[in-house]
Structure 1
């Protein structure tokens, strides 16, 4: 026995397909809103002005940073414009994956010499970002993102 395809069947299939698509979109939208961390800043304009002033002060310092890892040993070097090692008042480092926050690490940096620090870090192979924060002797805040590749 064969069943005839009627307009009601086509309408039911079409409505069902659209209902499924709209339902999936609603679930995804609700999950996106729930996972949003919140407001970053009240005024993007004011934040941009502060950013430019902080960036100019940081650039005036002329600091450069380099980061490497070898067999679980992280090595950070920080130099001023003359190539001399820098001793900031405060120093912090966070290792992050570019795509997610589950693997974030906060290595404990230990000073080796002026401008050189080391830390133990067991990092999975692949790309990492190192977010460096430091404070110069004059109070200038320094923020740098250093890319780091960990081989197999």
Structure 2
């Protein structure tokens, strides 16, 4: 009797089929779970058509070099839920700006993306009140200059 209790069990083909089924079933289940989570998050796309964007790369670089040559500096500050933007020239004097639009969004998700028009506050500052959830944000600022010029800047900041 004791010998029959401790006797090794037979490992048949059905046992091997079960082991293989569990092994590959686990892999398929994990892959499907990861695919479902990945399809619900940020795609990673920055532009809709990278080929078309690449055709304008040299123009974009030339505009950025012209902007850098001006020596102007922009500063975006967040005071509570109030965004404030100042653009100053190389001497620190405020630069006249007709209109400033901030495209706000999360760095890794498009669900909270929205545009905010910053109103003139005086002394070269522009601002707006916007309720931003805590965490990382990005702001793409476009300032329309008198005479048709445009000044662009990209900021990253953390709302508390």
Segments ≥4 residues shifted beyond 6 Å: none
Q: Which moved more, 1:90-99 or 1:38-47?
A: 38-47
Which residue in 1 is equivalent to 2:5? none
The separation in 2 between residues aligned to 1:40 and 1:53, in whole angstroms, is 21
Structure 1 unaligned regions, length at least 5 = none
Q: Higher relative CO (CA 8 A, sep ≥ 6), structure 1 or 2?
A: 1
Cα 1:62–1:138 shift into 2, 3 Å: farther
Query: Is the CA contact (8 Å cut-off) linking 1:57 and 1:140 kept in structure 2?
Result: no
Do structure 1's residue 83 and structure 2's residue 80 form an aligned pair?
Answer: no
TM-score (norm: length of structure 2): 0.70
Given candidates 109, 122, 136, the residue that maps to 1:113 is 122
Structure 2 unaligned regions, length at least 5 = 1-7
State which structure, 1 or 2, has the greater radius of gyration over its C-alpha atoms: 2
The separation in 1 between residues aligned to 2:104 and 2:120, in whole angstroms, is 18
Q: Which moved more, 1:127-136 or 1:116-125?
A: 127-136
Query: Is the CA contact (8 Å cut-off) linking 1:86 and 1:114 kept in structure 2?
Result: no
The separation in 1 between residues aligned to 2:135 and 2:99, in whole angstroms, is 29
Which residue in 1 is equivalent to 2:75? 66
Higher share of residues assigned strand? 2
Query: Is the CA contact (8 Å cut-off) linking 2:86 and 2:94 kept in structure 1?
Result: yes
Given candidates 11, 20, 23, the residue that maps to 2:17 is 11
Query: Is the CA contact (8 Å cut-off) linking 2:100 and 2:117 kept in structure 1?
Result: no
Given candidates 116, 124, 133, the residue that maps to 1:124 is 133
Which residue in 2 is equivalent to 1:48? 57
